[in-house]
């Protein structure tokens, strides 16, 4: 029994290292931590919550390092986007906790499918916004879109980076600033979600600590590998993992 438990947590550590590196290099680390955490015996909702908490420190580090380049849109400043993200993340986390585990388990395959589609679209099909594609968004539409993304981020979160990149690019935010803003806001929306999860009683603490140590180690390794890895090839791998995970979840393989 002890050897099986050790094997599961060893697999979790390796998976979390991979996830941390993947987040630094291309994104999509939760595609790794979610199924590995489920393999340790927890249900899908607990695995999603534990994964969110475990990956949060690395996410905050990325957002903090690029904060100088973060900016708002023409209609909404960075402070307003930050407040919206804080509130939306909290609403998403609360909705997740109100969702029965059995219901969430049935939703997960669809959520992963959506996240994989968003990742694939953002990686291979989304064209950089040209000046003529820029859409002047008013405060209400921009705020509503960011609210929906933030609620989804607090609830599940897969693919939020690409969703925000797309909206920011269409709103005319330069690529470098859009990437920094996306990283900052992703950390912000998960901040309130993580606070709620920490007091919810749903975090599996031992698994979370193992995954967090692995993810932080992986984040460091990923940062070291940043200039040596073919990012496009890695994105293909991430999409392939997402597809395999979706198929496995639909067939009850985790």
> Domain extents for the chain?
16-250
CA separation, residue 87 to residues 90, 92, 197 (Å): 5, 9, 15
Kindly report, residue by residue over 80-135, the tens digit of the pLDDT: 999 999 999 999 999 999 999 999 989 989 998 888 888 788 767 766 555 555 55
Name the least confident of 10-19, 209-218, 245-254: 245-254
Sign of the alpha-carbon dihedral angle for 55, 200, 196, 250: positive
- pLDDT value of residue 228: 75
pTM above 0.85, yes or no: no
Q: Could you give the C-alpha distances from 193 to 38, 113, 239, in angstroms and in order? A: 20, 22, 26
pLDDT the model gives residue 91: 96
Query: What's the pLDDT tens digit per position in 135-194?
Result: 566 788 888 989 999 999 999 988 787 788 778 877 777 777 877 888 888 889 999 999
For 139-155, letters b (16+ CB in 10 Å) and e give: eeebbebbbebbbbbbb
For position 147, what pLDDT does the model report?
93
Residue 246 in this model has a pLDDT that exceeds 80: yes
Based on the number of CB atoms within 10 Å of its own CB, is 200 exposed (0-12), middle (13-18) or buried (19 or more)? Answer: middle
What pLDDT is stored for residue 253 in this prediction?
A: 58
Percent of the chain having pLDDT more than 70?
88
């Amino acid at each position: 029994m002890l050897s099986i438990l050790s094997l599961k947590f060893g697999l979790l550590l390796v998976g979390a290292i991979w996830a941390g590196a993947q987040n630094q290099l291309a994104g999509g680390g939760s595609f790794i931590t979610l199924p590995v955490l489920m393999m340790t015996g927890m249900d899908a909702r607990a695995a999603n919550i534990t994964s969110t908490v475990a990956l949060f420190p690395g996410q905050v580090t990325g957002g903090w390092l690029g904060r100088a380049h973060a900016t708002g849109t023409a209609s909404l400043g960075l402070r307003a986007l930050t407040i919206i993200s804080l509130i939306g993340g909290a609403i998403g986390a609360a909705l997740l906790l109100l969702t029965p585990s059995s219901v969430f388990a049935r939703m997960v395959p669809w959520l992963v499918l959506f996240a994989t589609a968003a990742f694939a679209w953002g990686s291979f099909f989304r064209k950089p916004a040209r000046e003529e594609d820029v859409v002047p968004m008013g405060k209400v539409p921009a705020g509503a879109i960011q609210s929906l993304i933030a609620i989804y981020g607090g609830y599940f979160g897969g693919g939020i980076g690409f969703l925000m990149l797309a909206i920011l690019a269409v709103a005319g935010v330069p690529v470098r600033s859009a990437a920094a803003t996306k990283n900052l806001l992703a950390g912000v929306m998960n901040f309130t979600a993580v606070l709620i999860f920490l007091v919810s009683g749903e975090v599996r603490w031992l698994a979370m600590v193992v995954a967090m140590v692995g993810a932080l180690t992986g984040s460091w390794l990923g940062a070291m590998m940043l200039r040596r890895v073919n990012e496009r090839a890695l994105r293909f791998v991430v999409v392939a993992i997402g597809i395999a995970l979706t198929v496995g979840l639909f067939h009850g393989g985790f």
